[in-house]
Amino acid sequence: MKIVFVGHVCVDKNVVRGETETLYGGGVVHGAVTAQRLGAEAAVLTKCAEPDRPNFHLMSDIGAQVIFLPTPTSTSIRNVYPSDNPDDRESSLISRATPFGEADLDMITGLNADVVHVNPLWFGEFPPPLLAALRPRVAMLCADAQGFLRVAGPDGRMAHRDFAGKQEALALLDLFKVDSNEAFLLTGEEQPQKATRAVHALGPRMVLLTHRDGVCVFDGSAFHESAFSGFTLEGRTGRGDTCTASFLIARGRGMDLANAAAFAAVVTSRKMQYRGPFRG
C-alpha cells in the first residue's frame, strides 16, 4: 500500500507548561513516519526552504520518499498548551511556505499512490478548488480539516473559521479527518458521536473524528468508536495525523471499521506518550 501525504512540513515552537521546544514536524511528517513504520510505502510532497530541509531527515532516514518543492520560507507555527486538556491549543503562524498550485498536481499523481492524503496546516496552503482538480486523478482522496478551517489573522493568530463551498469540497472526499473542535465549527454538534454523523451528512464518504478520549468513525451505515489509553501534553502534537495514517493502513489491510478504529486508537495512544512522530 502506498500513501502520498501532501502538505507543508513545519518548524513547530511548542510551549508546554511555559517551556518552549522546537520540533520539526507537520502533519505530513507524522503521517508518513507512522505509515512507513507500520509497513506501508509512504511518500511526501511538501514545500520547505532549503536551509531547513536537513532538519526533516527522519522521513527519508526510515525509507519514505520525500519531494521538497522550492519556497523562500518554511511554514513555522507556535503552539501553546495553556491547560492539561490536549484539545485546548493556541496556535499562531510565524511564517508560511508558498501555497500549492495546480502545477503541483502532476507531481502528486505521478507518485502513483493507492491513497492521497491532503494534510495542510493553514487555510490557503492547499486551496479548496484544487481538490476538484485532483479528485478524478486519484483512486482514494482524503483530507484533514485543519488546513481548510484554520485561518491566520494579520497578527498570525490562528482561529478556526468555516469556509464557503464546504459541501461541494467535502463531497469529493473518501475520508475526512476532523477533531472535536473542527466538527463543532462545521456542524454545531459538541457530542462526538453526533458530530461524526453530522460531518458525514456534509458529503464525505467516511469521517474519522478524534477527541480527548478517543476516535469515532462513520461511513453512513456503520458507526464505531475506540478509546485512547492515555496521553501526555508533549505527545499531543501529531495525534490526528498518526490516527489517520494508522486507520488508512488498517483499512488497506482489510480490517473492518471496528477493528480499524481500534488499531488506530492503539497506535495513536502509543504515540501520545512522547514528543515527535510514532516510533514503531
Q: Indicate which CATH number applies to the domain containing 266.
A: 3.40.1190.20
Please answer whether residues 8 and 26 qualify as being in contact, where contact means their C-beta atoms are separated by less than 8 angstroms: yes
Mean pLDDT of the chain: 95
Indicate if the pLDDT at residue 66 is higher than 80: yes
Cα angle: 174, vertex 151, 206; to 5 degrees: 15
Distance CA 178, CA 272 (A): 17
Indicate if the pLDDT at residue 85 is higher than 80: no
Q: What is the pLDDT of residue 69?
A: 98
Tell me, yes or no, whether 141 lies in a domain.
Answer: yes
Indicate if the pLDDT at residue 119 is higher than 90: yes
Which positions ≥6 away from 6 have C-beta within 8 Å?
28, 44, 45, 46, 100, 108, 116, 117, 118, 119, 120, 126
Residue ranges with strand state E in 50-202: 65-69, 75-81, 90-95, 115-118, 141-144, 150-152, 157-160, 175-179
Whose grid coordinates read 473518501? 174
Distance CA 176, CA 171 (A): 10
How many domains in the chain? 1
Tell me, yes or no, whether 75 lies in a domain.
Answer: yes
Q: Per-residue confidence at 87, pLDDT binned at 50, 70, 90?
A: low
Q: Per-residue confidence at 86, pLDDT binned at 50, 70, 90?
A: low
Summarize the confidence of residues 123-146 as an average pLDDT.
97
Summarize the confidence of residues 226-244 as an average pLDDT.
88
Question: What are phi and psi for residue 218, nearest 5 degrees?
Answer: -145, 130
Summarize the confidence of residues 82-86 as an average pLDDT.
73
Return left, alpha or beta for 227; rule: phi > 0 is left, psi -120 to 50 is alpha, else beta: beta
Indicate if the pLDDT at residue 77 is higher than 80: yes
Tell me, yes or no, whether 13 lies in a domain.
Answer: yes
Please answer whether residues 141 and 172 qualify as being in contact, where contact means their C-beta atoms are separated by less than 8 angstroms: yes
Tell me, yes or no, whether 193 lies in a domain.
Answer: yes
Say what the pTM is.
Answer: 0.94
88 vs 162 pLDDT, higher one: 162
Distance CA 27, CA 241 (A): 5
Indicate if the pLDDT at residue 206 is higher than 80: yes
Indicate if the pLDDT at residue 266 is higher than 80: yes
Identify the domain containing residue 126 by its residue range.
2-271
High-pLDDT (> 70) share of the chain, %? 99
Tell me, yes or no, whether 181 lies in a domain.
Answer: yes
Indicate if the pLDDT at residue 46 is higher than 70: yes
Q: What is the pLDDT of residue 125?
A: 98
Summarize the confidence of residues 181-185 as an average pLDDT.
95
Half-sphere exposure of 53 (CA within 13 A, CB side): 16
Indicate if the pLDDT at residue 21 is higher than 90: no
Which positions ≥6 away from 28 have C-beta within 8 Å?
5, 6, 7, 8, 9, 44, 46, 119, 241
Q: What is the pLDDT of residue 17?
A: 80
Tell me, yes or no, whether 106 lies in a domain.
Answer: yes
Summarize the confidence of residues 191-198 as an average pLDDT.
97
Tell me, yes or no, whether 215 lies in a domain.
Answer: yes
Tell me, yes or no, whether 276 lies in a domain.
Answer: no
